[in-house]
Amino acid sequence: YYNSNKNPRIIRAMAIANAFISSSIVSRSKLSSSSYSSSHSRVFRDGFIQPGKTSFHQNKYLLRASIDSTKTVGSYSSSDQEADSVPMPIVLIDQDSDSDATIVQLSFGDRLGALIDTMKALKDLGLDVAKGTVTTEGSVLQTKFFITHLDTARKVEDPDMLERIRLTIINNLLKYHPESSERLAMGEAFGIKAPQKKLDVDIATHIHVKADGPKRSLLCIETADRPGLLLEIIKIMADINVNVESAEIDTEGLVAKDTFHVNYRGAALNSSLSQVLINCLRYYLRRPETDEDSY
């Protein structure tokens, strides 16, 4: 086909693919749904996905690559991708599921690319990506990183570092998938296109405290996302002596959905303290601007 068809776009795409494979950088093509079950997982270590059987859609070519961790190769498709709806970007930081590592899960429909650059950005923070999994569920590609501190091999506990991880991944999304800026709250300040939909912070903010045994409570927060949000929440709880045991930090497009296991002096929060915590969080989270100068 290469010799018989002189279409320069096809020749360029195949040349990129050959160079990509020869340089041992992971590339991705849109996988045929017929070749996968509804849930299929691959494990990668050190940036390389273990080989598996894949097949490709006919008449469709999609290449995403990273060159020297600074540039990405664009994509060519026989269909008009601009007409496709932009999927929901989701960044989930899980502190509960693994006792030895912080789990970061990233999904952006079937468009995830530049994962080597994401791993490099995390390592630049002094973190080690011990392993990862790539899972397809329907048309959604989910990448999960298991992260520890590079020097201690222990999971990340520092709220400041957790927020830096979150912002680093979102920054990579905006850089390598600029179309995500219209679905992310931080796309207004750092993306190429501000979100068309803007959330009313008063309406978007929901806070609940639930019982979670005699020694801890479960705090659930849903609010409009913004830089420094996690640090702000942790600071508010520290000011009223509420301790955070663990957390799940979920950024879904414009919305942050966070859950925290909390206690007060080793015991669950009573109804009075729960109401004080809710009132403090509601007051500060509904302010239009954050006080965190570093973000």
- Amino acid 49 reads I
Query: What's the pLDDT at 275?
Result: 96
Q: Report yes or no: 258 and 252 within 8 Å, Cβ to Cβ.
A: no
pTM strictly above 0.75 = no
Beta bridge partners of 272: none
pLDDT tens readout for residues 199-249: 888 889 999 999 999 999 999 999 999 888 999 999 999 999 999 999 999
CA distance 172 to 176: 6
Based on its alpha-carbon atoms, the radius of gyration of the chain, rounded to whole angstroms, reads 21
- HSE value, Cβ hemisphere, 13 Å, CA-based, for 183: 20
- Measured over the CA atoms of residue 230, residue 191, residue 188 and residue 256, the dihedral's sign is negative
143 within 8 A of 132, measured Cβ to Cβ: yes
The angle subtended at Cα 258 by Cα 200 and Cα 201, nearest 5°, is: 10
Mean pLDDT estimate for the chain: 76
What are the structural domains, with CATH classification, of the chain? 90-188 (3.30.70.260), 206-285 (3.30.70.260)
**HSE toward the beta carbon, residue 118, CA cutoff 13 A:** 30
Distance CA 154, CA 240 (A): 28
Q: Is the model more confident about 210 or about 295?
A: 210
- State the average pLDDT over residues 178-191: 87
| pLDDT at residue 270 in the model | 96
Strand pairing report for 206-211 and 39-45: unpaired
Q: What distances in angstroms separate CA 154 from CA 6, 12, 47, 126, 146, one per listed residue?
A: 54, 44, 20, 12, 11
